[in-house]
Amino acid sequence: MARTGRPKAELVLGQDERAALEGWVRRRSTPQAWALRCRIVLACAEGATNKDVAARLGSTPHAVGRWRARFLRYRIAGLGDMPRSGGPRRIDDGQVAELVAATLERRPDNATHWSTRSMAERTGLSQSTVSRIWRAFGLQPHRVETFKLSTDPYFVDKVYDVVGLYLDPPERALVFCVDEKSQIQALDRSQPVLPMMPAVPERQTADYVRNGTTTLFAALDVATGKVIGSLNRRHRTEEFKAFLSTLDKEVPAGLEVHLVCDNYATHKTPAVKRWLVSHPRFHLHFTPTGSSWLNLVERWFAELTTKRLRRGVHTSVQALETDIRDWIAAWNSNPKPYVWTRTADQILERLAGYLNRIPDSGDQDAPVPDLRGFADAHLPGRAGPRRVVPLGSGLDNTAHLVDGEFVVRRRHDGDQSDEARLLAEVAARSPLPTPVPLAVDGPWMAYRLLPGRALLDVLPLDAATTLDLARRLVDFVALVRTWDLPAPEDPPDLPALLAGAADDHAALGLRDPAVERFLATPPPPPPDELAFAHNDLGAEHVLVDVDTAVTGVVDWTDAARCDPASDLGLLHRDLGPAVLPLIPEPLRERAVFHARRSALEMLRYGVEHDRPLYARRAREAHRWLF
């Protein structure tokens, strides 16, 4: 009797399975190995034996049996290749480690970087093995990327300033990102451009003819995405001032104008600064040096370049300028604003490793490593390297935030021991939080970070909140006057202060009759006696929380026995008319004097040191002081 072998399990296809298998068989792009497996399953479903199917399809009965069994067990998924163990490993961990170390730490003798061929010759491995190891470790010696690390000592302040405009713009104001795209070349190809055809891209000659250049000044409205543009053959101060005048005409009266700019020299010339002072609704906000990624108009310039300029053909500057104007008009007919999503805190957290390397502006010879040594010696320890972020630099001190918890200040002109002792005395008496020194070592001093934001950052406030805050701070100043603490005497030289205000006004190039009347008026009489005071109680040194509760009074560097009206004048300058009725009558005249002369000083400082917030607050104070 003939041998029949084991009975085969019946292979039955579902409708969807049959359609899928037949589709793969018909499709030209199907890999042949996969198509053969599909044919085997289809033939088995017709009831044929393994031997018959093998003969029909040019395979072997064993192979047919394997794919029949795999399909019965796993269905279509079983037609794929199963994981295989592969051959025995021929490269040990030591060889892999040596190759990776050589890639990262050494260079070939005759090249700037390794190739798979040169590394294979060095290690005795094959090129494919080198390539696999590089891929496994994410190594790409053939690639190089560009970067630029900002060394701006005000990097943190400027990031908060610019990102704050994007995420929380002020009311009744427009925010523009402004820059110039200079030296745009009108380029013509030496031969006609050949159009794209099937399987052939558009082609143009590698050489070109220069037909002149132009410069585009552009202002991108952050809210709407619309662009105001102006084309000029040059990009000097005169052209930038003319563009600012264009913006002044385009923006409706009654709206403040905030401009985000880079640090190009044209934006900071004395002529531009004088123009800004004479147009107080304009406020410039500078990005940190080397940080054009913060200026959204650069993104718009990139679109203009890739979509209109890079492959454009322009036989003259006039043709180029017409092309650019057409692009701006088309863009403005359907504008698309760029939406900023990252907060300043997220950006700074991402850049924390870079920020640790930014030198401070007060003294480039006092590096951050000295700060780290002080922190390691005197502050509570932590595992791993400390995180250091610059907070800013003033005339007297430079401050850093260490580990997000401690403020470390370095005095530019000497030892901080006396100030630390004074701070301890102040903290013991003050009803408001003040810094409590944790450690002092020569010019270095550390204390815990106080919560809250600088009042300067959150002004202006509504009338009721301003009045309440003014009462609290005026009462605090009155209390501080009663403290009998050891402090240097700083008697006011009011004529000299008035002369300094005149210098500030002249340096700004202002012609303001109200200010000039103040400068022509003799100063008030000096105080009968001196009293202890903070002596620099501006809004930048008062911290508040979201409910405007005072969370700290900081920077007591200038504390002295001085004019008791000086701090009241700074409060009047920063908080406005609400402060004036709260000032005792005998101090009021001198307080107004200090408010006016310090407003001019603050304006000059903000303009000359690129601190737009200071300049803006000083211009706001002009409304009630002059």
pLDDT in tens, 11-66: 888 888 899 889 889 888 888 888 899 999 999 988 888 898 899 898 899 999 99
Distance of alpha carbon 277 from alpha carbon 287, whole angstroms: 20
Per-residue pLDDT at 128 exceeds 90: yes
Q: Dmax of the chain from CA atoms? A: 135
% of the chain residues with pLDDT over 90: 44
- Kindly indicate the confidence band of residue 109, based on its pLDDT and cuts at 50, 70 and 90: confident
pLDDT tens-digit map of 88-106? 778 888 899 999 999 998 9
3-class DSSP assignment, residue 296: coil
For residue 460, whether the previous peptide bond is cis, meaning omega lies within 30 degrees of 0, is yes
The span from the CA of 574 to the CA of 284, in Å, is: 20
For residue 367, the model assigns a pLDDT of 44
Q: What is the mean pLDDT of residues 310-319?
A: 88
Instruction: Give the end-to-end CA distance of the chain in Å, rounded to a whole number.
Output: 123
Residue found under tokens 């009725």 = 581
436/131 Cα distance (integer angstroms): 58
- For the stretch 284-306, pLDDT in tens is 888 988 888 999 999 999 999 99
Helix crossing, 93-105 with 127-137: angle to 10°? Answer: 80
User: What's the CA gap between 407 and 433, in Å, rounded?
Assistant: 15
- 430 falls in which pLDDT band (50, 70, 90)? very high
Question: Given a cut of 90, is residue 131 above it in pLDDT?
Answer: yes
No. of helices (H) and no. of strands (E), the chain: 23, 16
Q: Would the pLDDT of 510 be above 70?
A: yes
Cα-based distances in Å from 224 to 60, 175, 340, 472? 70, 10, 13, 41
CA distance 291 to 218: 18
Residue 415 pLDDT: 81
The whole-number pLDDT of residue 578 equals 93
CB 412 within 8 A of CB 444: no
526 torsion bin: left (phi>0), alpha (psi -120 to 50), beta (else): beta
- The predicted model gives 486-492 an average pLDDT of 90
Q: How confident is the model at residue 6 (pLDDT cuts 50, 70, 90)?
A: low
For 333-384, the pLDDT digits (tens) are 999 999 999 888 888 777 766 655 544 444 434 444 477 788 888 888 665 5
Tokens 């706001």: give the residue.
Answer: 620
pLDDT of residue 403: 80
Residue 1: pLDDT above 60? Answer: no
pLDDT tens for each residue of 225-270: 999 999 998 888 899 999 999 999 999 988 989 999 998 888 888 8
- The per-residue pLDDT for 598 is 94
